[in-house]
Chain A
Amino acid sequence: MRRDARAGGSPLTIGGYLVCLGGIVWREGLRFLNQRGRFFSALVRPLVWLFIFAAGFRAVLGVSIIPPYETYVLYEVYVTPGLVAMIQLFNGLQSSLGMVYDREVGAMRILLVSPFPRPFLLFAKLLAGVLVSLLQVYVFLAIAWFWEVEAPVAGYLLLVPVLVLTGLMLGALGLVLSSMFRQLENFASVMNFVIFPMFFASSALYPLWRMREASPLLYEICRLNPFTYAVEAIRFALYGRLEWSALAVVAAVTGLLLGLAILAYNPSKGLMVRRGGPSSAA
């Protein structure tokens, strides 16, 4: 009798999970289409670096033959994987900025009161952000192709799973940060303390061997920076090779950050629970 009284279909079927995932991705896509300014600013930023910064520094920052390159390459070629990672870094943190906004205005609650497990919801939200960033990356690479930054076709294909992994890592980082801040203003300022140090203290703009010559301390910092490994994973994938050690680091950091994000959004153990009243719940 008790079961009869409580009868009703559970949404937690494989089909239900797929519908939920599809809905979250769809909504992220719609928001992206509604915010065309976000798309163009995400694209303009790396293009400015490619067209202006790289052209200007080409002569100063010569690059020797280092894997995966088999010959001397233009600085534009060297810097392109770093700019791809930059797109994902900005996108990951911007997506999480959206979560802080959603939490502030209450829209996040609708996601969190879904019957699906919260880790799944957070992962789906992350994945949706990554898929949006893929679109931005490939538009950027298409424009870069006309700028003589050409990679083999196999590289463009191999890049997809690597970008998913690196995008998840950077999105998870944003998710952890978003859980720590209640107000949009606070989070926006933190982005400056995260994005720029991560980007500049990495191999995105200069090879690590050059960094070691300039400053051994900075070199060690770059080696500890997970963004360096994301850049290198992307760089090798773009030329049809998998850099397993970089991928392993990225996977491990992704797992760690995802775990922290899930913990932070856990209804009984989360950081938000300890910090404030009901308004901080979502």
Chain B
Amino acid sequence: MQPAAPAALSVRGVSHAFGTRKALEAVDLDVAAGSFTALLGLNGAGKTTLFSLITRLHDSHSGTIRVLGFDVRRESAAALSRLGVVFQARTLDLDLSLRENLLYHAALHGIGRRRARAATERRLAEIGLAERARDKVRTLSGGQMRRLEIARALLHEPRLLLLDEATVGLDVEARRAILTEVRRLVGETGLGVLWATHLIDEIAPGDDLVVLHQGRVQACGPVDAVIARAGGDSLQDAFMRLVGGETSIGNGSQEQAS
């Protein structure tokens, strides 16, 4: 019998603080290959800090983080070359064209010019922006920028994709399109996805779920199991119980309305 393949992402006992302020405490979570895992938490729960540690913008003070079995601290090149990331803040160069942004990203991953050009054209075609390849990024809408960022994150063919509040600031249609696209990738390519959000309506019944609150994992597992363990009739109820009744969690529709 062959041993199981490593998880796309494995986080074990990770703690981190900024000065005296604790941001994460003993966080454990897994993202299996070919799974969509939602990381649900209020603003300030520690989601962005966790992303910073996984992508090695910071090193964690304790614990280990592995991407496809590679330790991000000790084998960072192998780990980082296998993950793609879409940060909460826009990270595109607005003064470069769509194509130039993607080619720059390809170079940062050591992908030669010919292969990079082919991958760039393919990704732009996939997101329906091939005809705008020469346009400056600043001329795109918010939704188009996000799709471009996802295309860029996939350019070097990672096995793990991290998305931090990727739909913030987008309209309902753009949010739906991006979620559908990411779920399609999970189903068709076996990509592992960690989707950080504070919007409950972005989570589907079949997803894996990690609830993060004040830097601690409050619950994790399939959505149904989390609801059953926490009690309540819905994920919203369960979440309220898990985070002690704080009510600032929302759904995208409410955000749009407000």
Contact = CB atoms under 8 A, between A and B. Distances in A.
A and B found bound together? yes
Interface of A: 1-2, 5-6, 8, 10-13, 15-17, 19-20, 22-24, 26-27, 30-31, 34-35, 105-107, 109-117, 267-268, 273-279, 281-282
B108 A110 contact: yes
A16 B80 CA distance: 14
B76 A115 contact: yes
B48 interface: yes
B2 A34 contact: no
B78 A115 contact: yes
A187 B79 CA distance: 33
B18 A114 contact: no
10 contacts: A19-B110, A20-B109, A107-B92, A110-B105, A113-B80, A115-B77, A115-B81, A115-B109, A277-B49, A278-B51
The size bracket of the interface on B is 35 or more
Given A5-B5, A6-B70, A113-B57, A107 B107 contact: no
B68 A107 contact: no
A275 B145 CA distance: 30
Contacts of A117: 77
Contact of A2 (B69, B85, B106): B69
Interface in B161-218: none
Given A6-B69, A6-B70, 12 more contacts: A23-B104, A24-B108, A30-B96, A107-B91, A109-B89, A109-B91, A110-B108, A112-B57, A114-B108, A267-B57, A278-B57, A279-B48
A20 B57 CA distance: 19
Contact of B57 (A19, A26, A109, A274): A109
Contacts of A19: 107, 110-113
Contacts of A34: 95-96
Chief secondary structure at chain B's binding surface: loop
Contacts of B76: 115
Among A20, A23, A105, find the residue whose CB has the most chain B CB atoms closer than 10 A.
A23
A16 to B, nearest CB: 3
B52 interface: yes
Contacts of B108: 20, 23-24, 110-111, 114, 116
Contacts of A111: 108
Interface string B51-62: 110011111000
B23 A20 contact: no
A22 B56 CA distance: 23
A116 B77 contact: yes
Nearest 8 pairs between A and B by C-beta? A23-B107, A16-B110, A11-B110, A268-B59, A106-B89, A281-B57, A114-B108, A115-B81
Interface in B31-52: 48-49, 51-52
A273 to B, nearest CB: 6
Contacts of A11: 77, 81, 109-111, 156
Contacts of A5: 5-6, 68-69
Contact of B107 (A26, A106, A113, A115): A26
B41 to A, nearest CB: 13
A101 B73 CA distance: 27
Contacts of B96: 27, 30-31, 34
Contact of A105 (B56, B70, B89, B113): B89
A19 B34 CA distance: 31
B103 interface: yes
Contacts of A24: 107-108
A1 B2 CA distance: 8
B244 interface: no
A8 B77 CA distance: 12
Contacts of A35: 95
B70 A26 contact: no
Nearest to B79: A115
A8 B87 contact: no
A19 B107 CA distance: 6
A112 B96 CA distance: 19
A268 B58 contact: yes
B55 A6 contact: no
A6 B68 contact: yes
A173 B255 CA distance: 45
Contacts of B51: 278
A274 B91 contact: no
A29 to B, nearest CB: 11
